[in-house]
Amino acid sequence: MAVFSLALATRLRQPMRARTELPTGEAQWIWKTIDRKDHYPTAFYAIRDFDLESSPARARLLITADEEYVVTLNGKRIGAGGSPPGGSGALLDVYEVGPLLLPGGNRLLVELRSARGAGGLLATLRDEATGRRLVISDESWRIFARHELGLVRGWLPIGDRDHGDERGNEEEGQAAFCWGYPPIARWGTPRIGKPEPLLPEGRPLPAASARPLALDFGAGKARETRRPPGSPVLYDWGREVEGRLTLDLPPAGKPGAGLLFLGTEPPDPLRVRPAAAILIMPGRHDWLDAHPRRFRYAVVVGLARPASAAVLPEPAQALPPKNPAEMKVFGIEGPPLRTPVEDEVWRKLESLAGIARRKEL
């Protein structure tokens, strides 16, 4: 009996502590339902509809995700970011979104990506005048693993509909899975970061030129030739640019996975580590990099169909992190580590290259 009472008291104390001590209040880390042993890369939507009697003059959205997020409010894409939080706790991005809230129905949609499969989203939307939390991340959010225009624009109701049987996708339309209240494992106690500007609405800067590349797996270097599907495409802006890379490609019926390489010189995909994984959910035709970067050249590997590339101008808030392949401990270069996305992309590409060589023979 004593053990049961202690467990009950501990369970009740968690939301009370979260409400009074954490900047996110009673928000919990959420994700799609996933097998803990499943490390397959994933991209999906987490959506929350909510009603307001009147729109507040000021409202702040605090949000972070492991690994990446792109957040949309009432059809406007407002921010992107995320990264695996360090030991000091998850850093929350802050957006002022009061002018975007509407009397009546509102929709908060977050595109989530993880190259490891597992991850988490933590978010809270607060009325700054009253201190009332309008939205928190919890089990009331809905998970959709397929893009539909009406989901993003807000006119397609989510309700409790479930297309799992109809489309063979068990995650679509399901309730969010809750990992629990912070602090949890390496995510630690969330901390408020600096206010972030909303994403600009200006016209993206298209690449000045693009050319297909193929990989010579035998020689271990890149060379220009006819390319099999999914082999690299090199984009050149003609000068160094700062901002977020965007890709536009025909939508596909299944998830897409690719690798992104960036540099001030044309990067060799067989010799350097990728700057980011490109994860695209079924039905989606575009991809936005979650982080602003500085570069001139971009190489995209693994996308089955050619994509047009552009940069959404934005002053880079920080230089890209140092390439992990160049990091050394005590002067010794460590062995390269490949993510599940890298393994999948290179495995498919090596297979296609082998088939192409046999055909040429």
Band the pLDDT of 339: cuts 50, 70, 90: confident
Whether 181 has a pLDDT exceeding 70, the answer reads yes
pLDDT for the residue numbered 23: 94
Q: What is the mean pLDDT of residues 59-85?
A: 93
Domain coordinates of the chain in residue numbers?
Answer: 26-195, 205-360
Helix residue spans in 134-254 (DSSP H): 149-153, 164-167
Whether 333 has a pLDDT exceeding 50, the answer reads no
Q: What is the mean pLDDT of residues 333-346?
A: 69
Band the pLDDT of 146: cuts 50, 70, 90: very high
Whether 129 has a pLDDT exceeding 60, the answer reads yes
d(CA 43, CA 279): 6
Helical (H) or strand (E) element with 125? strand 120-127
* Domain 205-360 sits in CATH 2.60.120: yes
Record: fold of 26-195: Jelly Rolls (2.60.120)
Greater model confidence, 163 or 155: 155
d(CA 202, CA 8): 53
Arithmetic mean of pLDDT over the chain: 82
Greater model confidence, 159 or 230: 230
Greater model confidence, 149 or 97: 97
pLDDT for the residue numbered 305: 74
pLDDT for the residue numbered 307: 82
Q: What is the mean pLDDT of residues 19-47?
A: 87
pLDDT for the residue numbered 85: 60
Contacts 24+ apart (CB under 8 A), 332-341: 336/273, 339/41, 339/115, 339/116, 339/277, 340/39, 340/40, 340/41, 340/115, 340/116, 340/117, 341/41, 341/115, 341/257, 341/258, 341/259, 341/277, 341/279
Model confidence pLDDT, tens digit, residues 273-322: 999 999 999 999 999 999 999 999 999 999 877 789 999 998 655 444 44
Band the pLDDT of 340: cuts 50, 70, 90: confident
Whether 131 has a pLDDT exceeding 90, the answer reads yes
Model confidence pLDDT, tens digit, residues 87-101: 567 899 999 999 999
Q: What is the mean pLDDT of residues 215-228?
A: 56
Give the position of tokens 């030129």. 209
d(CA 308, CA 29): 35
Express as a percent the part of the chain with pLDDT over 70: 75
